[in-house]
Amino acid sequence: MDSPASGVSDDDPCPVSIAVVFEEAIEAGSGSIHVMLEDVSRIDAAAEVVAESVDGIEHDVGAGDGVTVVLGVPPARRDAGLNIRVHVDCSGSGAITSGDRITTQSYPVPVGGSSNTATVRVVTV
């Protein structure tokens, strides 16, 4: 059965387009962008990553400009409380370190509406 609002079959992941906007410019090749959709619906458990993308920074990105990433929300998680988290890893360590860029607020995942898009801002640590 199809979900008329999203045009996506109930068996397919629901695509969410995420624009990651940079507070400060960043040069091509200076790190990788980790975009995660996390299930934050349980207050008694750690957030669980349900979809993730890791991409290199392919081109220079100016301050206020963005990079778009599309992730699929698994069918079983469409009704869960999902949040978008981003870590731009400039050091290559995998840990959040000085100079990296991260999201610093909650960005709920829009699923099932007429527009499955979100804009998130990352700031320098």
Q: What is the distance between the alpha carbons of residues 14 and 58, in angstroms, rounded to a whole number?
A: 26
Q: Please tell me the pTM assigned to this model.
A: 0.84
Q: How many domains does the chain have?
A: 1
Give Cα separations from 42 to 45, 85, 106 (angstroms): 6, 16, 15
Question: What is the domain-level CATH number for residue 105?
Answer: 2.60.40.2990
Domain hosting residue 47, numbered range: 2-124
> How far is the C-alpha of 108 from the C-alpha of 102, rounded, in Å?
16
Task: Give the strand order in the sheet containing 66-73.
Answer: 48-56, 32-39, 82-89, 101-102, 117-124, 14-22, 66-73
Q: For 78-116, write each residue's pLDDT tens digit.
A: 777 899 999 999 999 999 999 999 999 999 987 766 668
